[in-house]
Structure 1
Amino acid sequence: MTGNLTHTALDWLLRIQQRPEDAALRTELAAWLAIDTRHVEAYRQAERVWQLTGLNEAAATPPPAETPRIPAAPIAAAAVPAIRPQRLRRRRWPALLAGSLAACFILWVAPDAYLGYQSDYRTDLGEQRSIELDDGSRVQLDSQSAISVEFDSSRREVRLLSGQAFFEVTPDQSRPFRVDANNLQITVTGTAFNVAVRASQLTVAVQHGSVRVAEGNHTLAEALHAGDRLQWRSSDQVTRDKLPLSQIAVWQQGRLVVRDARIADVLDELRPYLPGKLALRDDRLGAKRITGVYDLRDPDAALRAILQPYQGQVSTWTPWLRVVERQP
């Protein structure tokens, strides 16, 4: 489905939402829907994205009512998805929509603003940053990542607030170096390792040296050594495997290496490199497994390559939202 068609369908939906009592407009929409079944599908997708953003609830749109139809419409689905006249006065609707959009914008930026308040160092979309800490240790931050740092005479603590970071720790037996990431605590005295916080899981991979990983008072790994990787989804979903050293933190070279991973998890890895939100609307597609090497310097091409083996597609609904699903 072309981008022009989806944008046209969304435009029709917005116009109907603004003028629900306009019979002439609804008749025009019915005629447009009757032209091609692809128009009907585009309109249905526009309705889904309307529901996904929550604007339908914010606008207090009542349930659908009976809709006028084109007399000789070739398909029943061409009927206009009608909306009963709103209880609110029509002249108040634009102001209400503007308020809803403003509220959505606040919800969008509030977590980012709070993250900025919490962090000492952070990166924007597509940015990598190298940081030297007070003890000489180095941290490489990936795209859309953030850390806070707390050092004193007896401790060295870094919190990975979001994203991914590669740590090269200066040895200091008197002050172990600890990284807190969500529920886990990674402790070392001197080593190099990668930590990634994603929606689906948290991953620790060691390039050299040794690290201890704990969840509160429970030790998950007393010693991860070079090439070891620990993946944590929950307290009862912890896996450990081996990686070639050349594949640890390859994001620093602009690559994403995937070995027999679920598409849903791979999309989590790719999201920090894409603007806006990426929504997966097909759980069966998300459960499919892939293997490959993808170019993070062109994340849109990487996304297409990830979905292509299983006929997945990406629909761009707004500058802030893209939806992944299987091709119809």
Structure 2
Amino acid sequence: MEEDDAPCDKASRRRAAIEWWTRLDCRAPTPQEREAFALWLTRDSANREAFENVCRIWGDLEGLRPFIDEFDVTPPRRTPHLRVAASLAALAFALLSYVFFDDVWIMLRAQTRTGVAETRMVHLMDGSRIELGPRSAIALDFDERKRNVTLLRGEAWFDVAPDAGRPFSVLVPGGSVTALGTAFDVSTTRGRTEVTVALHRVRVVAGGPPIIVDEGEQSAFAPGVAAVDPYRVQVDHVTAWRRGKLIFDDRPLAEVVSVLGHYLHGYILILDPSIRERRVSGVFDAAEPIAAISAIEKALGLHALDLGYLVALTG
């Protein structure tokens, strides 16, 4: 990306931001790209201000509600289809203009990250393995006393090598998960963390006394919300993403949309708040998110409008 020393007005900053987003959003940046982006971010306080505004907007797309209101994308039932499409096109333009990158802080902090529909196996020096799901990122902090992995975003599978002198812990907002000779999955979606144990056990510390989650069990927590007591789950369903499948068993539509968004080069927006908690069950091909949306649309009697880079769902 070329830059010059002339001051950037609002429009050109926005264009530069969109270019960076297009370049970086769907894959891990090279060291040169990381350095160039950091330079752009710190070059002008207005660039950082634009990023901070986007960060406030981006959380689960809830911050886009003002844009939804502005562009009137929830019209009455009798509004002509053409008007709906035009309104959604305006929303798509706003989305591209304001959401140029979901979290630059994550990009700059992460040692390893994945893009849309990308998974990656990471082999650590201690013999442990981490498999990152799509749109996921981690930061490592290893020394002679500890092995800490911060899951900055997304989902990861951990196969931990034993080392009694150096505990292996996964840090997420609101808590931590420490391996006790373990293979386990940790996912963060819509501010909620789920921990699923496939082998042996883990210790979870989150807003209350530590709890032990055993093989075949799951627990969940969120910032300010203590971990729930472990409950039995189908581990192979939870980890189906590692085999290219997505299995949902009575999950809220908003959560399913969030997961599908990790596999779609674009955005899925729920325009009707009343359908967010509708329940979804099914087995889907992770490589075909649009087909999954179509199946859910039919099963729940919803309406989906595909604008290429934006899919809008209404009741």
Q: Is this a same-fold pair by TM over 0.5?
A: yes
Q: Is the 8 Å Cα contact of residues 115 and 136 (structure 2) preserved in structure 1?
A: yes
Deviation at 1:119, TM superposition (A): 0.5
Partner of 2:197, secondary structure, is strand
Contact kept? 1:263, 1:286, Cα under 8 Å = yes
Q: Is the 8 A contact 1:121 1:146 kept in 2?
A: yes
Identity %: 29
- Which residue of structure 2 lines up, in the alignment, with residue 228 of structure 1? 217
Q: What's the counterpart of residue 41 of structure 1? A: 81
In structure 2, the CA distance between the partners of 1:246 and 1:40, relative to structure 1 (3 Å rule), is closer
SS of alignment partner, residue 315 of structure 1? strand
1:251 aligned partner, one-letter code = W
In structure 2, do the counterparts of structure 1 residues 263 and 130 end up closer, same or farther at CA, with 3 Å as the change threshold?
A: same
Give the distance between the partners of 1:45 and 1:299, measured in 2 at CA: 21
Which residues of structure 1 form unaligned runs of 5+?
1-36, 56-100
Q: 1:133 Cα deviation (Å)?
A: 0.9
The verdict on how the C-alpha distance between 1:237 and 1:259 changes in structure 2, with shifts beyond 3 A counting, is farther
Paired residue for 2:132?
141
Q: CA deviation at 1:301?
A: 0.7
Question: Which residue in 2 is equivalent to 1:276?
Answer: 266
Aligned-residue offset at 1:289:
1.2
Equivalent residue of 2:80, what SS? Answer: helix
Aligned length: 238
- In the TM superposition, residue 307 of structure 1 has moved relative to its aligned partner by 2.5
CA deviations on 1:301-321 (whole Å, 9 max, x unpaired) are: 11211222111132123x432
- The 8 Å contact of residues 191 and 223 in structure 2, kept in 1 or not, is answered as no
TM-score calculated relative to the size of structure 1: 0.66
RMSD: 2.4
Question: What is the TM-score when the length of structure 2 is the normalising length?
Answer: 0.69
Residue in 1 that maps onto 2:294: 304
Question: 1:135-175, CA deviations, whole angstroms, 9 ceiling, x for partnerless residues?
Answer: 11000011111111110111100011111100001111111
Shift of 1:114: 3.1
State the alpha-carbon separation in 2 of the partners of residues 268 and 111 from structure 1. Answer: 13
What is the alpha-carbon distance in structure 2 between the residues aligned to residue 155 and residue 276 of structure 1? 38
Report the Cα distance in structure 1 between the residues aligned to 2:102 and 2:276, rounded to whole angstroms: 26
Question: How many Å separate the matches in 2 of 1:300 and 1:237?
Answer: 35
8 Å contact kept, 1:139–1:165: yes
Kept in 2, the 8 Å contact 1:314–1:324? The answer is yes
Q: Which has the larger radius of gyration?
A: 1
Aligned mates of 1:109, 1:316 — CA distance in 2? 20
Residues of 1 paired with 2:213 and 2:226: CA distance?
17
Of structures 1 and 2, the one with the larger relative CO (CA 8 A, separation 6+) is: 2
Alignment partner, residue 67 of structure 1:
none
* Aligned counterpart in structure 2 of residue 204 of structure 1, from 181, 195, 199: 195
Relative distance call for 1:125 and 1:204 in structure 2 (3 A) is: same
Number of the residue aligned with 1:172: 163
Query: Residues 54 and 215 of structure 1: is their aligned pair in 2 closer, same or farther, counting only changes over 3 Å?
Result: farther
- Following superposition of structure 1 onto structure 2, how do residues 256-271 of structure 1 map, counting pairs within 5 Å? 256-271=246-261
Deviation of 1:197 after TM superposition, in Å, equals: 1.1
Q: Give structure 2 stretches of 5+ with no counterpart.
A: 1-76
Offset, 1:237: 7.2
Map of 2:245 onto structure 1: 255
